[in-house]
Structure 1
Amino acid sequence: MLVAVHTLVAGHRLFDVLDLIEDDPRVQIMFTVAPDAFNHPVHRHLSDLGALVLPWEQATKLTFDLVIAAAHGGLSELHGPILMMAHGAGRGKYSAEPERGGPVLARKTVYGLDSARLARDGRVLASKILLAHDAESDILLHQCPEAMGVAVVVGDPCYDRLVSSLPHRDRYRRGFGVTSGDRLILVSSTWGADGLFGNTVDLLPRLMEQLAGTHFRVGVVLHPAVWSAHGVRQVRAWLRDCTEAGLRLVDPTHDWRAAVIAADHVVGDHGSVTAYAAAIGRPVLSLAGVGVDRLRPGSAQSIVLRQADRLDLSGRIAEQFGVARPLDRDTVVQAITSRPGQAGTLIRRALYELLRLDEPGRHRGPAPVPDPPSTSTLVVVAS
């Protein structure tokens, strides 16, 4: 079995899936770093985890009983049945698709459910395409009808694992150095010019300045592509004043979900982390207009940004956190997954069907996410 890891983000999702099958002695799992602009931290991360990593050139010459991936680059070069899944909270973002050799189309397509990524030369690449929500089936029918025969709605393994981890919140908070009297503000930014980190450069300095000397603590989860695109040294330099003032940085190679569960409030944008935070009941604040036009109406990200309270950086920030309340959690969850609590069972079934192996026993259910590293009060970000 080959795991094609394009980015750290894709890797986080794939390791949730590997937990469903990795202990089966009939299955040998190998990894490869797949083509992607942001793949350069992946090899070191896989090596640190003790994974058996094949060079891409070698992986493209072998035939596997199963290939799994959470992104699309280079999959047409791999041999074997492919299981394809999303690496975020469903498929909630638009992308403008160019015609073959022509200009960008005016119409919007939903990223990851389109023929340009799912098919090559009229052939659907995947043997199974995992969907989180029934609504994605409707989109797939419109954008890539030839893939309907291999699509299966399985729910969202990331959401299910967040839920299984909620009872461990106090332990995660201790791991981040948050005491019983503290309130943890977590800032989440996706990558790109319309993410919070790229769009609102004064957000973190203002939070640290206004909340200094209070019972509020501030942490930040930056999309791994932020680190990859700018370089670890540069991101550290940009945030040096904030980290010296006590800002907690979450290492992009570590599981961000512990920070979301530990948080009391989340300041977020149109990224998946913000949607997941709202889905587990964390009050979410956003900055007006950031990223909304990129979102599919009805997606969890769209619902969260349209319903979240707006953070006014010119006002009294501590008071705004004091009155912020959670969104309608059920509404957000229903937009993220059509099979809450079932993703592990359904994905495991799909894996064994493609491997043509009998599914052993009963899966133990999603494990809680790992505790933060002991250095999380001042996290060292891996290069």
Structure 2
Amino acid sequence: MTVSWSTVTAERQVLAVTRTWTSLDRIRDLLPIFADDPRVQVIFTVDQGSVFSVGLFEHLRGIGMRVISWEEAITREFDAILAASDHSDLHLLRGPLVLLPHGAGYQKYTVHSADDHRELSGLTGTALRHDRRTIPASVALSHPNQLDLLRAATPDADTLALVVGDPCMDRLRALSRNRDRYRAALGVEPHQRLITVTSTWGPGSALGRWPTLPADLLTELDHDRYRVAAVLHPNVWTFHGSWQVRHWLTRATDAGLILLSPDGPWHLGLVAAHAVLGDHGSLSAYTSGLGHPLLLAAFDESQVPPETAMASLGQKIPRLERHRSLGEQIQDALDNPNPGLLADLADQVFSHPGEALARIRRRTYELLALPEPPYPPAPATVVPEIPPIRRPRSFQVETEVLPDEPETVYLHRIPARLAHPGPTHRHLLAYDDEPDETILQNAGAILTDDPHEDWAATTLTRYPGCLLVAAPSATGTLGVWFHDGARAEITTTTNAAAWDNALSVSGLYALLSHRNRRTGEILVRAGLLSGSVVVTGQFGEPRPPADDLL
């Protein structure tokens, strides 16, 4: 008697072929077409012939997929096969194959092309034909204008073409309905704007040409106006290793960079963005589909065929220039969006919005010889858990009092880990849990969120160069202890839910720096935040603060 180990007897078996983390991402966009259908069992395999397949087999098992080896896969017959990579030995598989792009359509040359015969990534001849035999049963296109590209690659184009739209674009648009919630989950306050850096892989990418861009942004952009996120192509993580990528961005992540890994909620980096800095990768096309302001930090024309929509995007989207103020360029993009241009570019890449899963399911179930389920497929809107977001624990603070507003101080804060010596009116402020001891040794003001008995005296003794320390009290005010023994109390009135005690302390510092006073009232403005800071207490002669140097 034959033993059956299965519990549910599926009528059809579908093989999902992955070769890289990028192709896995696209396959996962498609899986909702089989949701709630016990007639279909999905099995995964990995063609490990790519340098970018490292860890993929183990990852699939780790997230609960049924995985078989490539050697087993090529010995079995399947009712349908889905693949989003054209470099594996697809001709060895047995079953009707649907070939899909692993990005936003077919917009780049494959790196495996010969210089005298460049093929499009996703439409290579070896994936379309073998020994005069057509390999796929269908080739999915995101837009009808890609039919000419397919015709250039195979004489069977008109038979194979399946115009479906783009399931990833549909998912991003579905997620965007909860954009404000995702911004909050990423730690972006209502008064801040999220600037997302996206990078494809290779030396011509944004990261390849400008590896310090995330840190450069955090160095220049006011912390109280902006947050910065980065979404890097999976091949960057796979080839260099996740440790190395994070190691390259250590100071940036310590300064608050939201670094989203490819197996995490990278979609939110696009959905939640107020503006995107991209390159010739697919995420720039997806940004146009979301309608976000877009600047190009790099664009490698040598990797983009001139007849593609991506080439058009590269010609029309402004470049981010290194020699100009990054903040001014970004603010200009935010203040002067061009939704018509972005919509036109998106219309050249994506068709049939909201229909991709339905169109792919229709064709797949034809191949399976099964009637479709009676309910429509829907994009997955559940995203992986967001990892804890680091927040900077120290700042270099520039203070400015305008001649016509003598009772107001404007603060410009940047994370101290990235600070350079600045103008005269600035100070270094740190929380006592700042991990960099050098910053604490040089801080002019130190705060705590959780004071203990004798905290103030202990901190002033440990850091003799510190002018003052501050800690919250049970009544909601801030207690302040000066190095010369004087005491003060800060009361802040503000409607800003995101008000930071450090802003109030900087208000006191401004009184000392600009007025040489330890008491008084001053209106503190930091980005869109404002609060009235009142300092009271009994003092001797104040000691003017020295400029703090890192």
For the criterion TM > 0.5, the same-fold answer is yes
1:299 to 1:172, Cα distance in 2 relative to 1, 3 A: farther
| Aligned twin of 2:395 | none
Deviations 1:312-340 (A, max 9, x none): 22222112111102452321221112322
2:205 and 2:46 map into 1 onto residues whose CA distance is: 26
| Pair 1:85 & 2:100 matched | yes
After TM superposition, give the deviation of residue 210 of structure 1 in Å. Answer: 0.9
Q: Give the structure 2 partner of residue 344 of structure 1.
A: 357
Is 1:286 matched with 2:284? no
Deviation at 1:191, TM superposition (A): 0.5
Which deviates the most, 159-168 or 176-185?
Answer: 159-168
Match of residue 229 from structure 2:
219
Tell me whether 1:11 sits opposite 2:24 in the alignment: yes
Residue 308 (structure 1) aligns with: 317
Aligned to 1:377: 389
- Which residue number corresponds to residue 101 of structure 1? none
Q: Is the 8 A contact 1:176 1:372 kept in 2?
A: no
User: Would you say how many aligned residue pairs link Structure 1 and Structure 2?
Assistant: 372
Alignment of 1:1-383 (within 5 A): 1-35=14-48, 36-72=50-86, 73-95=88-110, 104-211=114-221, 213-287=223-297, 290-324=299-333, 325-327=337-339, 328-368=341-381, 370-371=382-383, 373-378=385-390
For residues 160 and 239 of structure 1, what CA distance do their matches in structure 2 show?
Answer: 31
* Contact 1:96 1:107 (8 Å CA) reproduced: no
CA RMSD across the alignment = 1.9
| TM-score in terms of structure 1 length | 0.92
Provide Cα deviations, 1:70-97, integer angstroms capped at 9, x if missing partner. Answer: 0021212211111110010000112477
**Uncovered stretches (5+) of structure 1, i.e. residues with no partner:** 99-103
- Bigger strand fraction: 2
Partners in 2 of 1:224 and 1:360 — Cα distance?
Answer: 33
SS in 2 for 1:117: helix
Query: Residues 378 and 9 of structure 1: is their aligned pair in 2 closer, same or farther, counting only changes over 3 Å?
Result: farther
SS at match of 1:275: helix
Distance 1:297 1:165 in 2: 32
Distance 1:173 1:97, change over 3 A: closer
**Structure 1 residue 197 displacement after superposition:** 0.9
Q: In 2, Cα distance between the equivalents of 1:277 and 1:33?
A: 30
Alpha-carbon distance in structure 2 between the residues aligned to 1:277 and 1:214 = 24
Q: Which protein is bigger by CA-based radius of gyration?
A: 2
What stretches of structure 1 move > 6 A for 4+ residues in a row? none
Instruction: Write the distance in 1 (CA, Å) between the matches of 2:187 and 2:121.
Output: 38
AA aligned opposite 1:128: S
Decide which moves more: 137-146 or 62-71.
137-146
- Are 1:66 and 1:81, in contact at CA under 8 Å, matched by a contact in 2? yes
In percent, how many aligned pairs have the same letter? 37
What amino acid is the match of 1:334?
D
Quote the offset at 1:303 in angstroms: 2.6
Gaps of at least 5 residues in structure 2 are 1-13, 392-550
| Matched-pair contact (CA < 8 Å) for 1:188–1:269 | yes
Cα gap change, 1:378/1:68 in structure 2, threshold over 3 Å: closer, same or farther? farther
Q: Supply the distance in 2 between the matched residues of 1:195 and 1:243 (Cα, whole angstroms).
A: 20
Q: Contact 2:183/2:189 (CA < 8 Å) preserved in 1? A: yes
Contact 1:278 1:326 in 2 (8 A): no
Q: Higher RCO, 1 or 2 (CA under 8 Å, sep at least 6)? A: 1
Aligned-pair CA distance for 1:105? 4.7
